[in-house]
Structure 1
């Protein structure tokens, strides 16, 4: 009997050890796949993940058809390798990585199959406008850095020529940005094309104040080379692009609006929905969710309107908010200072809601003048929160608390900084962005403003609700445009009737939804999922529920598909809601931000 027990124990131990070895072998095969592909991917330019451009090592290299075919073939091969693995053989940590990575590769492959590289801009962002970020002019330190930057400036004409050729092919098959949203989109091209003095270009900015480590001769030589490169290469390339845009692209652009009107449009729109929401939902189901949320939020808006003491109708209240001078800054500095005051109030509350805070800090920066007229109200990153100070009468102060919570902390600035500080995750997770997770978290951060006490007046609470309504309306408007055949006017009127956003904001936003199908769906659907998971954990854990631990667990993952997040919170519940181990150089959050 004792011998049988010993034999059984040894057999079990041997099987367990074999399983570990097997799992480690599977892990290693998976690591080899993603390590090789990621190294290849980051050596390319123009590759994006969920609409967010990757730096591509600062190069503006080959984006022509042959290069696009190589990308298609590469991701087909990688997807085949991934499907040959059994995810159940991976360790728990690598199973999460696999789920994130496979979805990433599937999305990149789908983009290639639909030929989205033939439409390399939308009303929100563009290849010509993103060049400054790609080239990294603010990250130059050494003589070699500056010489590489000059070399990359010289690549702009060939890069633009390839993009023009790609757009021509898109025009031939009816795959273009709709003509109706192209008015004024050439302003940022013309701003460079019309320069008389190259030293006034943003491309010259890195050469105005050179490091003291460079000699006077080196500095003078670099400045002369930069001036010549901008004058002889960059400005003519933008002039050529401007001519193409005005005289070829706009006249030949499609007159339809819907994504479903594009070649293979129904499949394309469903793929865009999957990419941006990470959920397999059909447009009709999303439209229905949107209508339900709009009705719910409208009732809350009416209650808040009554709390303000206003006696008129809802439409009259919206007109009052859009027109009364008390709700608008008189100068750009006033808007920026009010924004900063909100951000500092949030700072004082962060430690109560998060166990881990990032070391990274963010700056508040006005949106550059050349893109401000059609840019969104604000945009946040780990190091900067851009605030649009153009046309102040369209930037109501009662919206600034919600906007600031979304774009800075605890929204994008917090989430992105924590993700960057992770040490235990592969680069394809740290350096990528999934819209449903990131935008869902930022919208949830607006909701947290209620618990933080950030909304001080009925008007600021109404601003929060109008932002909530705005994202709920996106579910209705995006599916309305791309699936149900809505016109631009229908979409604008729907937002005018239901939100307190200014007409300028609404028109810019609708143009963005038209030219960027499904991206607008990610916000509300991501937010609803995070809120649902919080309520699920609260019910399951009762008195053991710790909000700081819940938030830390959500943020510890970095950017992941919503089904992966849901599985992690299910584990959080099963384990009794423990505080996670970040494995990063994050700061403890006990005393604020």
Structure 2
């Protein structure tokens, strides 16, 4: 899956404020945030060249200011200026500042006459306007009152940051001191979670009990008696040898004190509040439609994640049709394997046959590393561009593994100093069948998420907000499309590996049915679980994790198939219209080289490219 965990979280944290006193204390010599100019001049006074120059100047200023609002995004892209900051983005004050920030920059950009813009400038203008207006539309829905669930657990994300194995750097003494500053801000956010959850109770906007039960052990994992057993202590265990003894001793003492006096008490408060107070108010229902104004809220989620006007009914029927189609392809694999039985019997067979599963974590991880080498050799057959950065294969951390998805991807830094990370969940090895490895590797790594996101970050000609932004329908649609070209690349030569491809596509098809079922049609958690168990060979633990993810993250799961369908449609149209002029590598470049775009913008871009190729 791509939660694309940190990108999605970065979007959730976006446009939030930071502490000016900390920003002012940074050393000289680091890249300063650019000053915001006066509003753009009236468009009728501009030439096309001046409009382009002014637009890109505003984009640069906007992005630099946004990094001050969102220090986590700065950290993710390798900008260390704000690594000691974590704003209280859940507070009312900062949410208002976020609103003001969006309105200000939307007004500035709209002062540029779109008719004067061409090419990339017009694309950038359209994407910026679209994203800003969607952000403002979403403000009427009280997502800040349910800031915690088992999938997007801010408390867990904070622990990942402090583990020394995530995007927060721990290489220099300054890095270590920066984290201590972020700890001070982080405990404020942890306490703000309690405040917001309590406000949610007062306004009858609460999470389902089923989700919050999964949150409790995730938080409890950070309530330790021995500070050296805390995940926040791991950076101390791996301090560089180059540090002086004085710094090592000082930092060890400071981290120990932070764990004992700040972090453990904060996690304990949050845990006890959820357990003793919140749980009795959490709801027994599951769908977003059960929340106040829930139907409109869900429709907004669908619009946000698909960038289309598809209705819940249309998406639900699309899913039902795809489930039927994929079942027929699965039956073809059964014939190739000489299996004489029903589809249900086939599902039971692949679930129970030990030859399809590893019996230890390291063999599974090594299998993915071997696939990394295999796929990398095949990429030139389908692509004439490749990212400079590489990725690593890692197991999901133990404290979040039980509720985490089967896999996820965390982007690396654009300069390649921090590789991307393909996380594999080894909590239940029955949830990681050997026959699913090729398609999962393609989706999460190359040519899927790692490939697409890394290329996007490396395109220097794009405005920064496009290089480091993301849209689920594009990123997930691309990753699922990448799976669909596996055979063309030379993968899936084993029928069982192709079954793995179909199994993963079935998951994405079922998501269309289950997500809309839960949030628009009154489905229960159990009905959703039963549907997925009946229609796939997924492990029960994976099904439960998936269904609870859809409950926690309404609408996101439908973006995969919607995005894939649109990319595949555009390819088919290009092949039909261009004939011998069609080059699959060139088409893929056109899809990828401009970064994530809303579906309507992507359509316009590709159709114009097709027209230009026909005319040449």
Q: Give the alignment's TM-score, normalised by structure 2.
A: 0.86
Matched with 2:604 is 567
Asked whether the 8 Å contact 1:549–1:578 carries over to 2, the reply is no
Residue 182 of structure 2 is aligned to residue 146 of structure 1: no
Give the Å deviation of 1:83. Answer: 4.5
Task: Give the 3 Å change call, closer, same or farther, for CA 308–512 of structure 1 in structure 2.
Answer: same
- Return the alpha-carbon distance in structure 2 between the equivalents of residues 47 and 567 of structure 1: 33
Give the Å deviation of 1:88. Answer: 2.1
Q: 2:64 aligns with which of 34, 39, 44?
A: 39
Residue 557 of structure 2 is aligned to residue 527 of structure 1: no
Matched with 1:552 is 589
RMSD: 2.5
Matched with 2:474 is 437
Give the Å deviation of 1:539. Answer: 0.7
Asked whether the 8 Å contact 2:88–2:185 carries over to 1, the reply is no
Q: 1:495 aligns with which of 529, 532, 549?
A: 532
Residue 254 of structure 2 is aligned to residue 225 of structure 1: yes
Matched with 2:123 is 96
Mean CA deviation greater in 198-207 or 224-233: 198-207
Give the Å deviation of 1:498. Answer: 1.4
- Return the alpha-carbon distance in structure 2 between the equivalents of residues 560 and 176 of structure 1: 33
Residue 459 of structure 2 is aligned to residue 422 of structure 1: yes
Q: 1:173 aligns with which of 185, 200, 203?
A: 203
1:472-507 deviation line (CA, Å, top 9, x unaligned): 111111111111111111111111111221111111
Map 1:348-387 onto structure 2 (within 5 A): 348-382=377-411, 383-387=420-424
Matched with 2:6 is none
Q: 1:297 aligns with which of 326, 346, 369?
A: 326
1:433-476 deviation line (CA, Å, top 9, x unaligned): 11000000111111111212321322221111111111111111
Residue 157 of structure 2 is aligned to residue 127 of structure 1: no
- Return the alpha-carbon distance in structure 2 between the equivalents of residues 256 and 571 of structure 1: 47
Mean CA deviation greater in 18-27 or 552-561: 18-27
Map 1:572-587 onto structure 2 (within 5 A): 572-576=609-613
- Return the alpha-carbon distance in structure 2 between the equivalents of residues 172 and 45 of structure 1: 29
Residue 495 of structure 1 aligns to a residue whose secondary structure is helix
Q: 2:268 aligns with which of 228, 239, 250?
A: 239
List gaps (5 residues or longer) in structure 2: 1-42, 412-419
- Return the alpha-carbon distance in structure 2 between the equivalents of residues 424 and 134 of structure 1: 30
Residue 385 of structure 1 aligns to a residue whose secondary structure is strand
Asked whether the 8 Å contact 1:419–1:430 carries over to 2, the reply is yes
Q: 2:553 aligns with which of 508, 511, 516?
A: 516
Q: Give the alignment's TM-score, normalised by structure 1.
A: 0.89
Give the Å deviation of 1:156. Answer: 2.5
| Paired positions, count | 558
Asked whether the 8 Å contact 2:512–2:558 carries over to 1, the reply is yes
Q: 1:110 aligns with which of 128, 137, 140?
A: 137
1:108-154 deviation line (CA, Å, top 9, x unaligned): 22333212122213331211111145569451333222212112112
Q: 1:78 aligns with which of 98, 105, 115?
A: 105
Give the Å deviation of 1:310. Answer: 0.6
Give the Å deviation of 1:26. Answer: 3.3
Task: Give the 3 Å change call, closer, same or farther, for CA 262–40 of structure 1 in structure 2.
Answer: farther
- Return the alpha-carbon distance in structure 2 between the equivalents of residues 361 and 375 of structure 1: 24
1:363-421 deviation line (CA, Å, top 9, x unaligned): 11011111111111111234111111112122211111111110011111111111111
Mean CA deviation greater in 297-306 or 23-32: 23-32
